[in-house]
Structure 1
Amino acid sequence: MNTTATATRVLTGDRPTGPLHLGHYFGTLQNRVRLQQQGAELMLVIADYQVLTDRDVAERLGEHVEGLVLDYLAVGVDPDLSTIFTHSAVPALNQLLLPFLSLVSVAELGRNPTVKDEIAQSRQSAVSGLMFTYPAHQAADILFCKAGLVPVGQDQVPHLEITRTIARRFNDRYGRVFPVPEALLSPAPLLLGTDGNKMSKSRGNAIALRASADETARLIRGAKTDAERRISYDPANRPEVSSLLLLAGLCLDRDPAEVADEIGDGGAAALKRVVTAAVNDYFAPARARRAELAGDLGEVRRILHEGNARANAVADRTLAEVREAMGGLVAAA
């Protein structure tokens, strides 16, 4: 599809469960900044309510929320051009969950493959009802602002399909209120974590955007590779080595196969030195910017306060339209 974003409203976001990492950056953050620069109206939801989807409590929530804002600003999100807000601060958004749940069946929610995977990865002894309503809550995130474009990873496509289904069914039943949003898949391939699995905050295998140069070097030194000395880019047969080469290539703006050829018979130690230097050089400006911003959390809170106010204005208008379309439902006095 054409990804030119002029005059398009884009919704994306993250759960505040820990610091964002290199996989987030190349998978979605870089794309968000590009869309903003192309003229898209970017809405960034910090999904604090959804932290409870697979956790019993929301630990260190305020710290994690502010950390996400710092990560966004450090990589180039401009709060004058984009709206950063939290779930919990936008009541009208969350009120959309009830009518949306009436538009999907329990069976449709239960067979969502992303929900199944999240249940399998859940750290809870029993799955809460929030897990099954997660796709409908994401639909509220997207549709409250009438987003036309949603950047997602391949694993999130089933959630977006639920959103598209809800939008179509609402429009068919009550009259057209919502656009049917399109997915924007990132062109960036999957980056593996230091243990060879998908890079993830919850798996403890990620390199945080905010990591120091020394911490980055330590984590990359411990990254899984293989016993073959000759370095080659072969994602199918050498996934861990190839993921490190891909990371270097992304940071250096070079073909990872060329990076491999230059390392040649240098082995894993030489590979890791190249990757470490590439990552630290690439992210040095963002890390310096983040450290500067972290010294003024009052400004971070002001940005979030203003973003919440803008999101509330959008959500209130949409909820009023929904109530009118559904037959004059009125708000409590």
Structure 2
Amino acid sequence: MTAPNDTRTSYDTAQQRSDRIWSQIGSDPSGLRMLTGDRPTGALHIGHYFGSLRNRVRLQDAGVETWVIVADYQVITDREVIGDIRGSVRELLTDYLAVGIDPERSTIFTHSAVPALNQLMLPFLSLVTQPELERNPTVKAELAAAGKSAMGGLLLTYPVHQAADILFCHGNLVPVGRDQLPHIEQTRVIARRFNERYAGGEAFFPEPDALLSEAPTILGLDGEHKMSKSRGNTVMLRMDADETLKKIKKAKTDADRRITYDPEGRPEVANLLTIAAEASGRAPEEIAEEIGDRGAGTLKLRTAEVLNEHLAPVRARRAELERDPGYLFEVLRAGNATANAEAEATLAKVREFMGMVY
């Protein structure tokens, strides 16, 4: 197990590297290749939008080479019923393009359509031990969230699959929250061990860095958990203005009429202020002061108003995209072709390093 002070040191080191990368992005983003993505479990919500999607567009627009994975194989890591994956992929693509991910500047692809990517799992698995995989805290959290006592093989090897996602395209930058740092560290270890064991010390695979975001965590409208479609506590990007207002009106608050920004003492009120702040570009404290003692009802109306105004262009673009689902899958096929070419070139070099070219 990692000692608490080691964890603190590891986080501090990751933060320092992240700070240097943010500076590089501002001056010269050339040479940076970002890998990011989501599991296709349905349409996305404002937690995804404020937490990651908006930042991906920012990085893309800054000139960072962007690869976005639709991790369809990861749907089955902890689920026995997978549902309509094709429909979920379509919803995900719609949201991606609606928020501004540009297929002319970003490569969007799916796990299952890139066989050479997944074949990297075999040599990568030779580089890790069972105890290393079992003590990954994110894997433990996923197992607990799924309500299972026994860990399936795919969940156990999830960090290795994620390493293959990042390294097949020589990704060197992964936007993550602090809780995902163990996955990035595992990927760095796999890259380092491959280079040492199979590549004769050549730095074939980069050791990717985590790009830590300052984006806030948006709680669900129950004020107790992260937004989750399964909990019904979300505002989905695909909702219209009236649906959004109805959802916000049902958000949990408290009995104090005076609105203050206190994330620790008043998390439900603070969450609505955070949403309003992210949507309006203002400070949550400023919004709280403006509302004053007019109560939670005014806070909810103000939050819904600025959120609907902010999302109006996204929703308009989304409506356009929904009318042409064929275009969405054309985008995906083009991205899959690009990803396959990259993965096959990487795998060919891996086979060469391992003496498996016959």
- What is the TM-score normalised by the length of structure 1? 0.97
Of 36, 39, 59, the match for 1:35: 59
Does the 8 Å CA contact 1:9/1:148 hold for their aligned counterparts? yes
Note the 1:5-44 alignment, pairs <5 A. Answer: 5-44=29-68
User: What is the match of residue 238 of structure 1?
Assistant: 266
Does the alignment pair 1:304 with 2:332?
yes
What pairs with 1:160-175 in structure 2 (closer than 5 Å)?
A: 160-175=184-199
What residue number does 1:227 align with? 255
1:125 offset after TM fit, Å?
A: 6.6
Query: Is 1:45–2:69 an aligned residue pair?
Result: yes
Greater CA drift, 208-217 or 196-205: 196-205
Aligned to 1:58: 82
More divergent stretch after superposition (88-97 vs 115-124): 115-124
For residue 52 of structure 2, what is the amino acid of its counterpart? T
Partner Cα distance (2:30, 2:304) in 1:
36
Does 2:165 match 1:141? yes
Matched, 1:87 2:111: yes
Query: Aligned partners of 1:96 and 1:72: how far apart in 2?
Result: 27
User: Retained in 1: the 8 A contact 2:143–2:149?
Assistant: no
Contact 2:46 2:235 (8 Å CA) reproduced = yes
- Count matched residues: 330
- The equivalent position to 2:321 in structure 1, one of 277, 285, 293, is 293
Identity over aligned residues, as a percent? 60
Q: Structure 1 residue 120 and structure 2 residue 120: aligned?
A: no
**Structure 2: how far apart are the matches of 1:243 and 1:154?**
20
Query: Does residue 192 of the first structure (1) align with residue 219 of the second (2)?
Result: yes
More deviation in 235-244 or 308-317? 235-244
What is the deviation of 1:126?
4.2
Please give the per-residue CA displacement for 1:126-165, whole angstroms capped at 9, x wherever unaligned.
4321110111100000000001100112221111111111
SS at match of 1:184: strand
Letter in 2 for 1:52: I
The 1:213/1:123 distance shift into structure 2, 3 A limit, reads farther
TM-score by length of 2: 0.90
Cα deviations across residues 183-227 of structure 1 (Å, max 9, x unaligned)? 011111211101111112333322111111111111111111111
Q: Give how far 1:84 is off.
A: 0.5
CA distance in 2, matches of 1:132, 1:203: 25
Contact kept, 8 Å, 2:108 with 2:336, in 1: the verdict is yes
Letter in 1 for 2:185: E
1:274 to 289, 294, 302: 302
5 Å-filtered alignment, 1:207-222, equals 207-222=235-250
CA contact (8 A) 1:27 1:188 kept: yes
What secondary structure does 1:45 align onto?
strand
Query: Higher mean Cα deviation, 118-127 or 21-30?
Result: 118-127
Q: Which amino acid aligns with 1:315?
A: A
Cα distance per residue 1:38-91 (max 9 Å; x no partner) = 111110000000000110132110010011111010000110000000000000
- What per-residue deviation string (whole Å, max 9, x for no partner) do you get for residues 16-43 of structure 1? 0011111111111111101111111110
RMSD: 1.2
Secondary structure at the aligned position of 2:98 is classed as helix
Distance 1:118 1:271 in 2: 34
Distance in 2, Cα, partners of 1:58 & 1:66: 15
Q: Contact between 1:16 and 1:51, CA under 8 Å: does it hold in 2?
A: yes
The letter of the residue matching 1:117 is: A
C-alpha distance in 2 between matches for 1:201 and 1:113: 23
The separation in 1 between residues aligned to 2:149 and 2:137, in whole angstroms, is 20
- 8 Å contact from structure 2 (residues 260, 292) kept in 1: yes
- Rounded Cα–Cα distance in structure 1 between residues aligned with 2:353 and 2:175: 29
Distance in 1 between residues matched to 2:83 and 2:122, nearest whole Å: 27
Structure 1: distance between partners of 2:31 and 2:330: 26
* CA shift for structure 1 position 228: 1.0
User: How far apart are 1:327 and its partner, in Å?
Assistant: 1.8
Check the 8 A contact 2:32/2:172 in 1, yes or no: yes
Give the CA deviation at 1:114: 0.6
Counterpart amino acid of 1:164?
A: R
Paired position in structure 2 for 1:105: 129
Task: Tell me, in whole angstroms, the C-alpha distance in 2 between the residues paired with 1:73 and 1:94.
Answer: 26
Q: Which moved more, 1:198-207 or 1:170-179?
A: 198-207
Give 5+ residue unaligned stretches, structure 1. none
- The SS at the match of 1:169 is helix
